[in-house]
């Protein structure tokens, strides 16, 4: 049984959510910026509907301040998480997100999986 930890904050009219799905050996980190919680939940649960597809695409409504808030939340979450984590991006064109991942201590592994091992 998978357990997940959700961290959400609201910035202007957008919800910033970070979810860590615990697989036992490591946790998968997911990040979503969307207008509704329901769309984020559909995307996290891998539902095949319009809301989930809209939440999965790159959001053009977020500005640099929104990304700064997102980066601060991610840093806070990572500081208090002692388990190994990994990120598996859905799309290889999300280079900006992967540059942030490098700053947060993630290293590129095989098959486009980014791994962060805490000591």
Is pLDDT above 60 for 14? Answer: yes
pLDDT in tens, 31-51: 888 888 888 888 888 888 888
pLDDT in tens, 81-116: 888 888 887 766 667 777 888 888 888 888 788 888
Q: Is 59 exposed, middle or buried (0-12, 13-18, 19+ CB in 10 A)?
A: middle
CATH T-level fold of 3-116: Aminopeptidase (3.40.630)
Compute the chain's Rg from CA coordinates: 14
Over residues 48-62, the mean pLDDT reads: 76
Contacts of 53 (CB under 8 A, 6+ apart): none
Instruction: Indicate the DSSP class of residue 7.
Output: E
């Amino acid at each position: 049984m998978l357990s997940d930890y959700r961290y959400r904050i609201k910035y202007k009219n957008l919800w910033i959510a970070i979810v860590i799905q615990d697989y036992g050996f490591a946790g998968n980190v997911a990040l979503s910026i969307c207008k509704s919680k329901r769309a984020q939940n559909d995307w996290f649960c891998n539902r095949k509907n319009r809301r989930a597809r809209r939440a999965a695409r790159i959001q053009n409504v977020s500005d640099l301040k929104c990304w700064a808030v997102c980066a601060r939340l991610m840093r806070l979450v990572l500081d208090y998480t002692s388990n190994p984590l990994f990120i598996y991006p859905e799309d290889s064109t999300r280079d900006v997100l992967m540059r942030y991942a490098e700053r947060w201590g993630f290293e590129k592994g095989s098959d486009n999986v980014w791994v962060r091992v805490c000591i």
